[in-house]
């Protein structure tokens, strides 16, 4: 009797906590986008041109949270809109093909840091469908203003 070989299952995503958010800075509010899925034109290989790939993005950023910004003031002026960051990420991804996950991460980080209230940003870019036996490959960067 012939044995059937089973295709390896992709490992389930295991939540890995990021490094503690910036303990060496003055008080910062930690704002984040978690597990944003986009179809991105990305890659260096010929078979990656003219197509899109599933990419997962995580963006964490630290917003000043000092005196005068105390909890209790229910005022939009004291925060950074995560909707603005989502829109920024969508625009950057839609701008066209990039070769490297590092390039995409750098563009997102620069766009987020354009807001003067943001002191630090961490961007993770993961390509999801590169290897059958691996949930994701990618890069994570951190940049400061």
Query: How many domains would you assign to the chain?
Result: 1
pLDDT tens digits for 62-76? Answer: 988 766 555 566 777
Work out the angle at residue 37's Cα, subtended by the Cα atoms of residues 117 and 57, and round it to the nearest 5 degrees: 40
In a domain, 16, yes or no: no
pLDDT tens digits for 82-109? Answer: 999 999 999 999 999 999 999 999 999 9
CATH number at residue 137: 3.30.1130.10
Q: What is the DSSP string of 46-82?
A: GGGTTS-EEEEEEEEEEEE--TT--TT---GGGS--H
The domain of 45 spans 32-68+79-144
- Cβ-contact 19, 30 below 8 angstroms: no
Distance CA 66, CA 42 (A): 39
Distance CA 120, CA 68 (A): 20
pTM of the model: 0.80
In a domain, 84, yes or no: yes
In a domain, 7, yes or no: no
Within its chain, how far is the Cα of 87 from the centroid? 13
In a domain, 4, yes or no: no
């Amino acid at each position: 009797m012939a044995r059937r070989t089973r295709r390896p299952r992709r490992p389930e995503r295991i939540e890995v906590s990021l490094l503690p958010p910036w303990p060496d800075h003055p008080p910062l509010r930690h704002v984040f986008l978690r597990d944003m899925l986009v179809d991105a034109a990305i890659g260096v290989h010929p078979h990656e041109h003219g197509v899109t790939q599933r990419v997962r993005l995580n963006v964490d950023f630290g917003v000043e949270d000092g005196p005068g910004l105390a909890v209790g003031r229910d005022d939009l002026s004291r925060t950074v809109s995560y909707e603005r960051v989502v829109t920024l990420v969508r625009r950057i991804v839609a701008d066209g093909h990039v070769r490297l996950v590092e390039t995409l991460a750098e563009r997102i980080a620069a766009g987020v840091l354009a807001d003067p209230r943001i002191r630090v940003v961490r961007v993770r870019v993961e390509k999801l469908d590169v290897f059958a036996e691996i949930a994701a490959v990618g890069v994570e960067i951190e940049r400061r203003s």
